[in-house]
Amino acid sequence: MLAEIRNAPAPAKLNLFLHVTGRRPDGYHELETVFQLIDWCDRVHLRRRDDGRIEREGALPGVPPEADLVVRAARLLQAQSGTPLGADLALDKAIPMGGGLGGGSSDAATVLMALNRLWGLDWPDDRLAALGLRLGADVPFFVFGRTAYATGVGERLEPLDLPPCWYVVVAPHVAVPTAAAFAAPDLTRNTEPLKIAGLSRDDRVWQGGNDLQEVVVKRYPEVAAALASLKEAAVAAGLDPARTRMSGSGACVFCPAPTEARAGQMAGEVLRREVGTVRVCRGLSRHPLGSRQVG
């Protein structure tokens, strides 16, 4: 049995489109989206403890321990599995918070997958994903670990094969609370689904949009500026500005590019506009960890 796992990757995600197709009686929203992993990663470090304690080394500013998804994930898996073991947890945070990139959910999923191996539990992925849904709607996707077409609250997942792609991601200097974006009275909640499950046609993905984008852009000028700058950069690079959009509930915006060179050209244009942190990211077809690949 392993005693320690260091530098376990927790990759960010993009929503290539995000449709709000309805609202459930419990207040949650029905969604349709395509999740795409990218190589912008947090890193999680875990060390097994024999005394059953879960200890977090360091802390995230503004996040109390009881709300820390890394700690919550570890405690939930510990309680549900009945293991007598514990863990020391540390997190190197790189993915911006409040950016719509799923960083917290990805951290939680990586903790579940890594502790599954560290504690010798040997839980299957579907069981980990079901547990992860109790932590957040995006957690099951990160456990699923590959490009996916998603419905429900985001937990019903089907694998989707898309061509290799690079993305320019811009993180404005603002955080957007997810709950506030979904609660906006002017949010459209009845978008007709694209129903692209089982298809691998790239053009179908880009027929969609992000229903939250208009709501967020109206309320956050920083997001509007980043989106406008990225669209201008896409045109200058000879790429389709209509494929520039916001990820999740914001604040990050992105645009795809067929090659790293074209993405770099676009990123250079955006950097000159000083609208936020700019990063060239490679799309990942598979999670770089995977519960069977830890260690």
Other Cβ atoms less than 10 A from the Cβ of 191: the count is 18
Of 289, 34, 17, nearest to 157 by C-alpha is: 34
Say how far apart CA 101 and CA 252 lie, in whole Å. Answer: 7
Q: Which of 13, 42, 107, 125 is catalytic?
A: 13
Q: Is 93 a catalytic residue?
A: no
Helices (H), ranges, the chain: 69-81, 103-118, 125-132, 139-144, 178-183, 202-205, 213-219, 221-236, 260-271
Q: Which of 42, 125, 138, 211 is catalytic?
A: 138
Q: Is 13 a catalytic residue?
A: yes
CA 99 to chain centre: 9
Other Cβ atoms less than 10 A from the Cβ of 204: the count is 17
Say how far apart CA 190 and CA 23 lie, in whole Å. Answer: 8
Q: Are 95 and 103 in contact (CB under 8 A)?
A: yes
The number of CA neighbours under 13 Å toward the Cβ of 225 is 14
Residues recognised as catalytic: 13, 138
